A and B are shown apart, each in its own frame.
Chain A
Amino acid sequence: MGTGMTAGPTVIADWLVVLPVLLGLIGATVLLLSRRFDKVSGAVAVLFVVAIIAVDAALLQRVLVDGPVAMIMGNWLPPFGISFAADVLGTALALAGAVVTLVVLVYGFAERSATRSADGYFALVLLLLAGVGGAVLTGDLFNLYVWFEVLLIAALGLLISGRRVAQLDAAIKYGFLNYLGTTVFLIALGLLYGAAGTLNMADLVATAPRTNPAAMAVVGTLFLLAFGLKAAAFPVNSWLPASYHTGSPAVSALFAGLLTKVGVYALLRTLVTVMPGVGDFLMPALVAIAVLTLLLAPLGAIAETNLRRALGFFVIGGIGMVLAGIALGGAQGIAGASLYILQAMLSMAALYLVAGLIETVTGATDTRAMGGVYGASSLVSMLFLVLLLGVAGVPPFLGFWPKLQVLQAGIARSGLAGGGPVDAVALLLIAAILLNAFLTLLAASRLWAHIFWRQGPLHDGVEGAPLRHQHLSRREAWFGGMSAFVLVILILGLGLWPEPLLRGSLIAAGDLLDPARYLAAVGFGGVP
């Protein structure tokens, strides 16, 4: 054994790994102190998020060229210090999260023009972003738990700001169930520490196969429950449509873009990289959860009349898609799952932003009271249509490519293409994905037809007279409309030119499936 400490201080360049989180935390502190100055706070928040985007982009550039980068806190040698380890998947998700946060911040300026209050909104947004950055960049499972709690407290603060009575109702359900989820995660960590003696992800890769398989199976099952709850996978998804729609559109867009994705990322990281043996053991459960989530989510969206609650079910359906990718496995499947997380961050947030515009134009939250918005605002209708098609996985939008990757993985495994034995599980997952795409398209086109296409709300089965719609104020059009437009253009552009993303997703999947480079970066290179 060495001394347990590294000799010199950390190289300055390696500070890049923690900088996204550090900037977020510093920004949150500064904004909390200056929360009485709402106008300045907004500009400061935007500056901090732009800095975080720049740092994330630099880190992604470095990770793509050199492979994973790690930093250990306090100069301890691994596994004693808390390690931060950035690989392609984590860094890309941190970057996407920061981009979504920037767009949502700018969008929020339109909403906040009327009510100026020292509610700490900007500080909480920065704290949420710091939590996302920490969760996707950390290399330590206990640290991941801490970031989950940071996310939870920031999300609760945002969820209740606005003082509508329904928000209290939503926050109670959201708070209790999510706190329960993180506690289940903590229970799993206690058992894992008792069984394996370490909570460092890289260390666990080597330790987990030597640990009592029964104990690891329990830990893995608890992980599946905890992260499934966080990600709103099927049997534990009811908190999401009960809470997301009560906040302001900007807040629900931020939640839809960031929160559930961190849960499913954690599932991907733990079951595929850290404990692949347990992942195989849990595969039947994972397949069942994926299929049921894929099928029930769009059915929920069809049955829902509240616009943003219906969108909540699309968010859940996206989680089912990622789970299907994990269940199919292989480089293609994992790459598809990774890329789908990224695309869902962008498109789900954009959907909620456009839903906010629709609510402003119609003055309603229920689709039964909407109609004929196409005539009032064709731009909003086009943005919404593009996003709905993207979510359903219609080419050439971004949502199509990861779905194609997952389907290719399924076809390769099913034995349909090259002879070989027929794999019933793969066929089941393929069928579920295709049915999900069909049902999502059905739900999406119904939404679009009800909000935009028909003249007015139904009265006794007859379309009523066209409604009077409000025009977006100049401020709403500039901040709200333009920010949603930019995000949709980004989604469209990435969909038309997916080559870098597809290549990046395969690199990410390679590091997830064979973590040799990741281990070497953290300092376990010599250990087989």
Chain B
Amino acid sequence: MEVALAILAGLFFATAIWFLLSRGIIRMLLGLVVLGNATHLLIFTAGRVTREVAPIVPVGLQVPALATANPLPQALILTAIVIGFAMFTFLLVLAYRAYRTLDADDTASMRLAEPEDGPRPPLSY
């Protein structure tokens, strides 16, 4: 099961990198979403896949009686999902504003902060 999940995560990463290598902002955003999901899948798999036994410690014991599912990866992934979703939303709005204002969804034509034909530096001194 872990092998299958690892291969799936690898495919996700490959797709994400392919999207991120694009110049189109929308494709890059899609790449970030896929990359985030690939990472979540990776953390999930790294926490080891086990039977669906809830990690509840019975009354009177200090540790669970049976081997249970690992609860920590879920906590990590949940945190990462919340953060990733917030960042994605922000970048989406930013891309929309940039499209409205700059009329560009291509990073190659976004050269306001870094002028393309930069002036030569002065030669004096």
Question: Is the CB of A161 closer than 8 A to any CB of chain B?
Answer: no
Q: Complex formed: what's the CA distance from A306 to B58 in Å?
A: 66
**Which of A26-34, A165-173, A347-355 contacts its partner?**
A165-173
Report the minimal beta-carbon distance from A185 to chain B, rounded to whole angstroms: 10
Q: Complex formed: what's the CA distance from A343 to B77 in Å?
A: 37
| Closest A residue, CB atoms, query B95 | A172
Question: Is the CB of B60 closer than 8 A to any CB of chain A?
Answer: no
Q: Complex formed: what's the CA distance from A1 to B32 in Å?
A: 42
Assess whether B83 is in contact with A169, with CB atoms less than 8 Å apart: no
Contact with A along B51-88 (1 / 0, CB 8 A): 00000000000110000000011001001100110110
A189 partner, pick from B43, B48, B111, B112, beta carbons under 8 A: B43
Question: Is the CB of A214 closer than 8 A to any CB of chain B?
Answer: no
Candidate in B46, B63, B113, B125 with the most chain A CB atoms within 10 angstroms: B113
Dominant SS among interface residues on chain B:
helix
| Closest B residue, CB atoms, query A179 | B87
Question: Is the CB of A497 closer than 8 A to any CB of chain B?
Answer: no
B122 partner, pick from A189, A368, A445, beta carbons under 8 A: A368
| Closest A residue, CB atoms, query B32 | A179
Interface size on A, residues (CB 8 A): 54
Interface size on B, residues (CB 8 A): 44
| Closest B residue, CB atoms, query A80 | B72
Candidate in A3, A146, A160, A172 with the most chain B CB atoms within 10 angstroms: A172
Question: Is the CB of A493 closer than 8 A to any CB of chain B?
Answer: no
Known A176-B91, A180-B20: A190·B39 in contact at CB below 8 Å: yes
Question: Is the CB of A302 closer than 8 A to any CB of chain B?
Answer: yes
Kindly list chain B residues whose C-beta atoms are within 8 Å of the C-beta of A12: none
**Which of A108-116, A266-274, A446-454, A465-473 contacts its partner?**
A446-454
Question: Is the CB of A194 closer than 8 A to any CB of chain B?
Answer: yes
Report the minimal beta-carbon distance from A249 to chain B, rounded to whole angstroms: 15
Question: Is the CB of B114 closer than 8 A to any CB of chain A?
Answer: yes
Question: Is the CB of A492 closer than 8 A to any CB of chain B?
Answer: no
B83 partner, pick from A146, A189, A190, A461, beta carbons under 8 A: A146
Instruction: Contacts A145-B80, A183-B36 known; list 14 others, CB within 8 Å.
Output: A1-B63, A4-B62, A149-B83, A153-B86, A169-B98, A172-B94, A180-B20, A194-B45, A242-B114, A304-B121, A368-B122, A453-B125, A454-B125, A463-B124
Selected A-B contacts with CB under 8 Å, 24 pairs: A3-B62, A146-B83, A153-B90, A165-B101, A166-B112, A168-B94, A168-B98, A169-B111, A169-B112, A173-B110, A176-B91, A179-B91, A186-B39, A189-B43, A193-B73, A194-B45, A242-B113, A242-B114, A243-B113, A368-B122, A449-B125, A450-B124, A458-B124, A463-B124
